[in-house]
């Protein structure tokens, strides 16, 4: 299959309602800029995997989001980053967990795609960065440091940090990119700084099939409370349901109905090999934007509570 219209959907987190309209406008501007740039690469013929890596890098560079530069700090005041990448063509997953002092954790996940050992934790990921010759990079911004100092002053009474940098409310921050390329191939990448203020060693869903999964038929990236995503095995569940014959709308509706009954707090974005672009959320806000080939759209104005949606090809 060739010469398809590429499709792209990205996310930058999910969580409580965003009251700051200025913040909402700035988030929309960032998301639309990135999704348009990724779509342009796809339209030029770049493969889905490379587009997903590129899109994750672009979002990791934006300190507004909790991935790469501007990530939240863990309980000990350090930023540790995780990322997952999956190529739907080869159905091959790779990722890094809790790696420190790197600029783009998605690049480490990409380097592991051809490796027999494809998921590395803190020490192994740091050694991989050294082998690749990546210079040490400090992802901590002054605002994130101030957030951590305030939390320490309050004896870490918050359950998590505020993980969209312009929003004082707590938010579940992860970035993700899902792409269908002109060849009809799918890929997905997810990257995160975690939920912030977590205990040392805590592992998010980003570098697990629970939060990042793809095969030849569907690809999904998740955002929200990582433990909830893991408990539902959300990304893999959605991909399996599409692979078993459900259309994307039905798969999202069933999965998010179950999640609501289980009181989960998360969101997901997805694309199918047929070109359906979809999303779902149980949180009040899902920071997602998409390009279908005929125009841009986003989910920022959705009302609170559970919602799903699909744009058909």
User: Catalytic residue among 174, 272, 282, 299, which?
Assistant: 174
N-term to C-term CA, the chain: 16
Please return the burial class of 82, using the count of CB atoms within 10 Å of its CB with bins 0-12, 13-18 and 19+.
buried
Cβ-contact 243, 270 below 8 angstroms: no
Give the CA distances from residue 13 to residues 26, 286, 312, in Å, rounded to whole numbers and listed in that order: 14, 6, 23
Helices 21-43 and 48-60: angle between axes, nearest 10 degrees: 150
Residue 282 · residue 308 · CB < 8 Å: no
Neighbour-count burial of 305, counting CB atoms closer than 10 A to its CB (0-12 exposed, 13-18 middle, 19+ buried): exposed
Is residue 174 annotated as part of the catalytic site, yes or no? yes
Bridge partner residues of 209 (DSSP): none
Chain length of the chain = 313
Catalytic residues: 174
């Amino acid at each position: 299959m060739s010469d398809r219209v590429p499709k792209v959907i990205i996310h930058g987190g999910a969580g409580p309602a965003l009251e700051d309209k200025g913040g909402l406008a700035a988030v929309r501007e960032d998301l639309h800029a990135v999704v348009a740039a990724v779509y342009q690469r796809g339209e030029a013929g770049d493969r889905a995997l490379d587009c997903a890596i590129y899109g994750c890098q672009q979002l990791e560079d934006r300190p507004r989001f909790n991935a790469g530069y501007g990530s939240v700090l863990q309980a000990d005041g350090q930023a540790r980053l995780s990322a997952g990448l999956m190529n739907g063509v080869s159905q091959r997953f790779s990722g890094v967990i809790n790696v420190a002092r790197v600029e783009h954790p998605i690049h480490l996940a990409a380097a592991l795609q051809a490796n027999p050992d494809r998921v590395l934790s803190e020490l192994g990921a740091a050694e991989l960065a050294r082998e690749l010759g990546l210079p040490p990079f400090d992802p901590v911004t002054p605002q994130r440091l101030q957030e951590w100092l305030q939390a320490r002053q309050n004896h870490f009474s918050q359950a998590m940090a505020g993980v969209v940098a312009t929003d004082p409310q707590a938010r579940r921050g992860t970035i993700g990119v899902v792409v269908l390329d002109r060849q009809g191939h799918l890929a997905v990448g997810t990257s995160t700084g975690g939920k912030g203020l977590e205990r040392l060693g805590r592992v998010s869903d980003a570098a697990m099939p629970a939060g990042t999964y793809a095969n030849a038929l569907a690809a999904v990236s998740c955002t929200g409370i990582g433990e909830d995503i893991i408990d539902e095995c959300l990304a893999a569940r959605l991909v399996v349901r599409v692979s078993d014959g459900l259309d994307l709308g039905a798969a999202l509706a069933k999965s998010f109905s179950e999640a609501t009954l289980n009181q989960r707090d998360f969101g997901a974005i997805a694309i199918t090999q047929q070109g359906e672009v979809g999303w779902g959320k149980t949180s009040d806000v899902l920071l997602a934007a998409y390009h279908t080939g005929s125009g841009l759209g986003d989910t920022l104005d959705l009302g609170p509570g559970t919602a799903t949606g699909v744009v058909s090809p």
